[in-house]
Amino acid sequence: MDVLPIALKLTGQLCLVVGGGAIARRKADLLVQAGAILHVIAPDVLPELVQLAQTSGGLVTLASYSSDHDLKPYRLVIAATDDPAVNSQVFEESEALNILVNSVDDPPHCRFMIPAIIDRSPLVLSVSSGGASPVLARQLRSKIESLIPEKFGELAKFSGDWRPQVKAAIVNPNQRRIFWENLYASTIGEQVLNGLRAAADAAMPKVLADWQANAQQQGEVYLVGAGPGDPDLLTFKALRLMQQADVVVYDRLVSAPILALVRRDADRIYVGKARADHAVPQEDINQLLVRLAKEGKRVCRLKGGDPFIFGRGGEEIEELVASNVAFQVVPGITAASGCSAYAGIPLTHRDYAQSVRFLTGHLKEGSPELPWDELVYENQTLVLYMGLVGLRNICKQLIAHGLREDMPVALISKGTTPDQQVIVGTIATIADLIEGQHVPAPTLTIIGEVVKLRDKLKWFE
């Protein structure tokens, strides 16, 4: 994060705009809307800018800026002249006094930037590029503005008016947050958005009383598939539940960019498992989910890929069912689909493969016991999860059971991410090709004629 977005209270604060043209007027208008007392200094000042200053209780000085002008009384200064030397001077003198200063369209001479603003007061949203691309920020503002009804400001006012009563009635902050989230999605939220504020106010006492009567509400578990690594592959539902959970219990295979999308104040519990190194045993994970839910928390169990494809999601929800804990399951794009697509290898193709099988190479006792005879079929694609360590043995078994030695193989490391690597060989050579190489996990192995298509279809690279 290059800049820290903040909301600055300027009501009754002295603010200075150096400059009297159209750009200065636009910046001054924002300051006055925020309640600032506006002072302007410039040799020529637009009449509208003069009126803004007078309306705010400020004044206009018709003179060129000089070091004689005392900056100490000001909370904030904006340099908006067409003279870079003057803007630079204003910046340096403000910096020396630790006064917040902005030189318009000159990021190196800005201590703060004025973002593109969506005003639904008291709800105010802003979009900033840190001065790198103001036009892009304004375009994003337009997109966001179309999604937020004007009445959202009324909903914010309603929340502010009822906040003291809700805080007194619901002491636990987590429960209080859940109360508000549920309220916004309820009939009361719709009443406020439809202008029926009196009806919403009348309904609130009963809603609060009902909540207190059921204060020991049990939580819920969201079993969410995070996909193979690219955050753009998350489903809308996955993202929504990730951002409303109180606790996120996540695996090693959940990528950092995806983890960054969970709610910022949610507790995060790492239970990642690598080969022969389980941070938390599966049984303990199962019990952890039950305990957290029974504490009234909304728990996001975030798993790489799809939780029901070699993700042990079935084991976890069996425990939730046995413990009478509510849950939802959100499928994710499994590694087979995501990694093969990003590697340019279709899993099925009319000319090469009419079926596909998903296999795990990471079974108990470290030795995969697979139905080898069933796997040796010419027009079939095999997709092997977690098979890196046992790959040489798997290849030997397939050859021993009749798979031809020149069958193409692709090993995909960290698929769908910027660090994706693809190593292509045959069933007879792939183990030798990776011997001595550091191939980062997670990996996926694709065996079949479809691998030949990669040279033509590798769009991601």
Q: Do you find a cis peptide bond into 122, omega within 30 degrees of 0?
A: yes
Annotated binding residues for S-adenosyl-L-methionine: 228, 304-306, 309, 334-335, 386, 415
Q: Measured between alpha carbons, how far is 341 from 338 in angstroms, rounded to an integer?
A: 5
SS3 278: strand
Strands 267-270 and 273-274: unpaired
Q: Is residue 204 within 8 Å of residue 310, measured between CB atoms? A: no
Q: Give me 375's structure tokens.
A: 């796997």
Annotated binding residues: 22-23, 43-44, 228, 304-306, 309, 334-335, 386, 415
Q: In what order do the strands lie in the sheet with 326-330?
A: 267-270, 247-250, 298-303, 220-225, 326-330
CA 272 distance to own-chain centroid: 20
Annotated catalytic residues are 251, 273
Q: Measured between alpha carbons, how far is 39 from 74 in angstroms, rounded to an integer?
A: 9
Q: Measured between alpha carbons, how far is 461 from 343 in angstroms, rounded to an integer?
A: 8
Annotated binding residues for NAD(+): 22-23, 43-44
Q: Measured between alpha carbons, how far is 75 from 106 in angstroms, rounded to an integer?
A: 20
Cα–Cα nearest to 337, from 323, 348, 322, 351:
348
SS3 355: strand
Q: Give me 272's structure tokens.
A: 């990642």
SS3 14: strand
Cα–Cα nearest to 245, from 325, 177, 191:
177
Question: Which H or E element spans position 447?
Answer: strand 443-447
SS3 262: coil
- Other beta carbons within 10 angstroms of residue 267's beta carbon come to 15
- Other beta carbons within 10 angstroms of residue 398's beta carbon come to 22
Q: Measured between alpha carbons, how far is 374 from 3 in angstroms, rounded to an integer?
A: 58
DSSP one-letter string for 68-133: TS--TT-SEEEE--S-HHHHHHHHHHHHHTT-EEEETT-GGGBSS-PPEEEEETTEEEEE--TTS-
